[in-house]
Structure 1
């Protein structure tokens, strides 16, 4: 299940899909995540210029990928580009409740309501509503809010959920991805831009949970 806390540390890096594919390949065979992370830093799989940046980005990737079930880690490493994009969105939702909730309450809402486009103003409205009860949002600096807004849209575009005009693009989940999402929690289907019939079909695959 996703952590109930609102972490706000996704200020840079986007979806990190390519980095995740390389690191997930190590995580599949390594004895544990710490071993995989150390090896990824040694090899600089994230291709950063400084050691500090390599350590920071590698840690972020490992934390996201580690949030997935084992089948998800394997699919990130070995699946298609679309599979890895969708699973890294799932990983981001599992790691960051803000993204999970934004995907459900804003992005998917625009798809099913027919409004179609997500704007920066929608992010600000969502932030303001959530900040009424989430201290981390209410206390965040304006610069942090701006960075998170920019990176949220970057992540959504890189996941293939928004086009360059920020129109919502409905997605199709492969059976393998759908199984990983279901294993993580049926409610997470609601954080993807898919229609109600797809949610019902996926969530009902193995009966109500």
Structure 2
């Protein structure tokens, strides 16, 4: 099966919002009721219900890719755990980002090359474009916006610092116990507690 890449990453990591939705799911265990509550009660504290709906839909797509145990850990609102599990969900939702983590971040971490540059993104994008014709159709503006959003999400999830250097994250027992190795692979160079 050939993966089709979507690179229009329109949203950031949505850390706080994801915790709020995860807490609702942890209480209700029913996605339809969660959506209704999030929008009716303005749980995400947006100005318009349409905005709540758009943000909820993005978070819902991500959380549906995680196990109930992972969602429960997110709902516990421990900052590092939240960031790591949201990063895993983003990698699963967007195969382009997941492969970037598995190929670029993991390779850099293994070779002790800690700076991740825009050139790394460019080389990765061009290599993937050889096998994925949909990437050939992407405008320079979309490509640049996707790069900017990817780097922003990596910083928000504390995989990179402000200088775009890898930060070796510490994986808590909770994250390790609720996540299969295939998920943990998206966090290269992690230190296991």
Q: TM-score, normalised by structure 1?
A: 0.84
Rounded to whole Å, the distance in 2 between the matches of 1:151 and 1:101 is 16
Among candidates 178, 188, 191, match of residue 183 of structure 2:
188
Q: Once superposed, what is the RMSD of the aligned Cα atoms?
A: 2.0
24-33 vs 63-72, greater mean Cα deviation: 24-33
CA deviation map 1:145-198 (0-9, x unaligned): 12111110111001111000000011111122112321xxx2333221326xx6
Alignment match, 1:139: 137
- Which residue does 2:55 correspond to in 1? 57
Are the structure 2 counterparts of residues 141 and 44 from structure 1 closer, same or farther at C-alpha, using a change threshold of 3 Å?
farther
2-structure distance, mates of 1:138, 1:47: 38
Q: How does 1:63-82 map to 2 (within 5 A)?
A: 63-82=61-80
Q: Is the 8 A contact 2:70 2:85 kept in 1?
A: yes
Q: How far off is 1:31 after superposition?
A: 4.1
1:7 CA displacement: 2.8
2:13 alignment partner, SS class: coil
Whether contact under 8 Å (1:19, 1:46) holds in the other structure is yes
Distance 1:49 1:91 in 2: 26
Shift of the alpha carbon at 1:112? Answer: 1.6
Do the aligned residues in 1 keep the contact of 2:88 with 2:184 (CA within 8 Å)?
A: no
- Kindly indicate whether the alpha-carbon contact (under 8 Å) linking 1:33 and 1:66 is maintained by their aligned counterparts in 2: no
Counterpart Cα distance in 1 of 2:44 and 2:98: 25
The answer on whether the counterparts of 2:13 and 2:156 sit within 8 Å (CA) in structure 1 is yes
Q: Please say if residues 71 and 180 of structure 1, whose CA atoms lie closer than 8 Å, have aligned partners that are also in contact.
A: yes
Quote the Cα distance in structure 1 between the aligned partners of 2:147 and 2:168. Answer: 21
Unaligned runs of 5+ residues in structure 1 are 203-209
Greater alpha carbon shift after TM alignment, 63-72 vs 132-141: 132-141
Contact 1:15 / 1:159 at 8 angstroms: preserved in 2? yes
Work out the CA distance in 2 between the residues paired with 1:34 and 1:10: 24
Q: Paired residues, what number?
A: 192
Stretch of structure 1 that moved more, 116-125 or 31-40: 31-40
Q: Secondary structure at the match of 1:100?
A: helix
Question: Aligned partners of 2:131, 2:108: CA distance in 1, in Å?
Answer: 24
Which structure 2 residues correspond to residues 112-151 of structure 1 after superposition, within 5 A?
112-151=110-149
Cα separation, partners in 2 of 1:136 and 1:34, compared to 1, 3 Å: farther
Detail structure 1 runs of 4+ shifted over 3 Å in the superposition.
none
Question: Conserved in 2, the CA contact under 8 Å of 1:169 and 1:193?
Answer: no
**What's the TM-score, normalizing by structure 2?**
0.90
